[in-house]
Amino acid sequence: MGSFKLRLKLLLADRIAALCYALCAVVMISLLFNMNLHASETSRVPVGVACESASPAAERLNKRLLESDALRVTSGTMEELTQLLMDGYIGSIFVIGDDYEEKLRSGIREDIIKVITPSDDTSSIIVQDIVAGYMMYDVCFFRTFEEYSSLPDMSVTEEEFSEYVASVAENPMYDFDFDIRYIDVGSRDKNNAEITTAMIYRQIIAGLIGMLLLVLVVCGCNGFATENVQSIALRRRTIAGNLFNAYLLEMAAVLVYLTPAILLSALIMIGESGPGGAVLVFLMGEALCMFFIIVCFVLAAVIKSASAYQLVGTVICLLLGACGFINTFSSISGTPLFGWTPVAAYINAFVEVLV
């Protein structure tokens, strides 16, 4: 246990480093906690809506868009929204023109709404589908009323018909919903829990937690690199005793030193994972850190240069983090890549805990 105590003492004796470690871990984890707290809201697609019409149909559409669960709508003038588009805070602008209602009334089904997007943009097509869903009610209303008003002896006004349709719409019987069932083909698990887009956002947060832990490990293992440069590791070989056990204990000491940060990171999503899930996340974090401590230990022994160790260590962190993110995004758009890399495996295990 001597090696364990010695390494832990060495780590804690550097008070400035301990202070920086505590400060950085708390700041980063608070940031990730904030991101997770707003995951449901921020995972919605950000769009701008410029409503240039005061007609009831335009106001209805504007209200529906603002209440949408799929979109994060920012209302404003064209100048304000254009600036937001330029600054990258929204992806597209939907302009409800002053002739919006007039077009719907006259049965026009083309170019009803102007969509301003960055040039060569294709991603906003899926947003159009969502917006079209909110327009459909009025498109259908004006079409059915047109049909109704063309009938012989028709005596109902548009207002009366509108109230009538609204009363029918209130009936939940007409609220069509797909009966969506989720089946994990890999495990044949029929899990019908709703899977939302906030899950993708949480996967990114999990990836960031993984990267944060790796960076902390690189810094925590700095001592190994310094000792290799100063030939302390070489001198230790001349002392009798089981070096393998000693090194294992020293690596365990680094893990213990990093445990408060791992514990805090496990608490970020406790609301979603529950206490049992948080324990699992904590254990996954410990496993990820232990794996990377071994990698850093080997790296420090091989490189024997403090600057090169820092550079290689951080680049490996970035590469592993990037592999984790690539795995998440590539699985959305096609075949998952790099699923076997540590951060990707950590993200996947995290998701299993959350679902």
C-beta closer to another protein: residue 178 or 244: 178
Output the smallest distance, CB 310 to another protein, in A.
6
User: Minimum distance between the CB of residue 238 and another protein, rounded to whole angstroms?
Assistant: 25
Nearer to another protein, 1 or 172 (CB): 172
- The Cα–Cα gap between 254 and 182 comes to 42
What is the side-by-side order of every strand in the sheet holding 71-75?
Answer: 71-75, 45-51, 93-96
Decide whether 133 or 241 has the Cβ nearer to another protein.
Answer: 133
- Shortest Cβ distance from residue 17 to another protein (Å)? 3
What is the nearest approach in angstroms of another protein to the Cβ of residue 355? 6
How are beta strands 93-96 and 71-75 bridged, if at all?
unpaired
Which lies closer to another protein via its Cβ, residue 19 or residue 283? Answer: 19
Q: Which is nearer to another protein, 144 or 245 (CB)?
A: 144
For every residue of 216-280, DSSP letters joined together read: HHHHHTHHHHHHHHTTHHHHHTTS-S-HHHHHHHHHHHHHHHHHHHHHHHHHTTHHHHHHHHHHH
Angle at 316 between CA 311 and CA 321, to 5 degrees: 130
Between CA 157 and CA 47 the distance in angstroms is: 36
Nearer to another protein, 131 or 251 (CB): 131
Closest approach of another protein to the CB of residue 258, in Å: 11
Least distance CB 116 / another protein (angstroms): 5
| CA-based max dimension of the chain | 108
* Main-chain dihedrals φ then ψ at residue 310, nearest 5 degrees: -60, -45
How far apart CA 92 and CA 43 sit, in angstroms, is: 16
